[in-house]
Amino acid sequence: MFKKFILLFLLLVASSSQANVRIFACEPEWAELARMLGGEQIYTATTNQQDPHHIQARPSLIAKARRADLLICTGAELEIGWLPLLLRKSGNSRIQVGQLGYFMATDHVTLLDKPTQLDRSQGDVHSSGNPHIHLDPERMLQVAKSLTETLIKIDPANQSTYQTKLESFSQAWQAMMNKWDKQIFTGKSMVVYHNSWLYLQQWLGLKKTATLEPKPGIPPTSSHLSRLLATLQQSPAQMIIYANYQDGKAANWLAQKTDIPVVALDFSPATEENLIHWFERTVNQIATVLK
Ligand SMILES: [Zn+2]
């Protein structure tokens, strides 16, 4: 009788187990994707007010990384300035390179703009290609599938939950993608701060005509800006966009001089903002300017 009771108890525990994966997400988009895919214990290392290229591997981050079962980051060298140190200091073997708990989103998609020649005099170039993939809904869907596979490998007891979550996410995401009339965007030109919007550009058919950074990672200089001003006075763009974590001074100065509308966008979801909500909000902001 007692043995039977124990067995029943174990079965109940196994079938109703909660998601038991402690997740450390480098950027809010991965935290929110993981949440939609069934992740529950999620720590987000950065907010959308921080530049993911430049984060400090501070003790509180290291402590969180020490306890994580799964690390989800962008990869492709976006976090090269802080993640290797964080991993080393964490002393956590589960999330080291090559382990099951080391998940880099960019490892699961193809990247654009991979430089054929690496020349550091060209600025802070991303040598594995442009890592800013989270604004491409197609690639996000691919990452979602791979992330689900990883969650199942780490937490097989909840396989069916993860599969169901992936299905409902894919449907909602696809429905969101189908909502846009891409004609609003096709061929429209824009000036950007950093090459952060490449994948969104491609998906919407937008055209980037200039960058406020003279070289990747180098803040706008006055000589570069006056050159840009001259170019834009000749052939104006339809908008100037930058991420809220970037300094808006240059963008706003240029907007004032040229009368081109300027848009400040959240490059990542706000704290615990639904991923779909954030994506729609971002595309809507662009659409409003172009209409
Ligand atoms: Zn970048």
Q: Rounded to whole angstroms, how far apart are CA atoms 42 and 186?
A: 37
- What separation in Å is there between the alpha carbon of 244 and the centre of ligand 1? 14
* Residues 286 and 258 sit within 8 Å (Cβ to Cβ): no
- What separation in Å is there between the alpha carbon of 61 and the centre of ligand 1? 22
Say if residue 61 is in the same domain as residue 79: yes
Say if residue 202 is in the same domain as residue 151: no
- What separation in Å is there between the alpha carbon of 125 and the centre of ligand 1? 8
Q: Which two structure tokens, joined as six digits, stand for 252?
A: 């706003």
Residue 85 φ/ψ region, left for φ over 0, alpha for ψ in the -120 to 50 degree band, beta for the rest: alpha
- What separation in Å is there between the alpha carbon of 195 and the centre of ligand 1? 6
- Phi, psi torsion values for 43, nearest 5 degrees: -110, 130
- Give the total number of structural domains in the chain: 2
Say if residue 139 is in the same domain as residue 38: yes
- What separation in Å is there between the alpha carbon of 126 and the centre of ligand 1? 7
CATH number of the domain that residue 172 is part of: 3.40.50.1980
- What separation in Å is there between the alpha carbon of 219 and the centre of ligand 1? 13
Indicate the residue among 151, 178, 205 that finishes a domain: 178
Say if residue 163 is in the same domain as residue 229: no
Say if residue 145 is in the same domain as residue 23: yes
Model confidence, pTM:
0.92
Range of the domain at 271: 182-290
Q: What is the pLDDT along the chain (291 residues), one digit of tens a residue?
A: 556 655 555 555 555 567 789 999 999 999 999 999 999 999 999 999 999 999 999 999 999 999 999 999 999 999 999 999 999 999 999 999 999 999 999 999 999 998 887 676 777 778 899 999 999 999 999 999 999 999 999 999 999 999 999 999 999 999 999 999 899 999 999 999 999 999 999 999 999 999 999 998 899 999 999 999 999 999 999 999 999 999 999 999 999 999 999 999 999 999 989 999 999 999 999 999 998
Q: H or E element: which one contains 46?
A: none
Q: Rounded to whole angstroms, how far apart are CA atoms 51 and 46?
A: 8
Q: Rounded to whole angstroms, how far apart are CA atoms 24 and 43?
A: 5
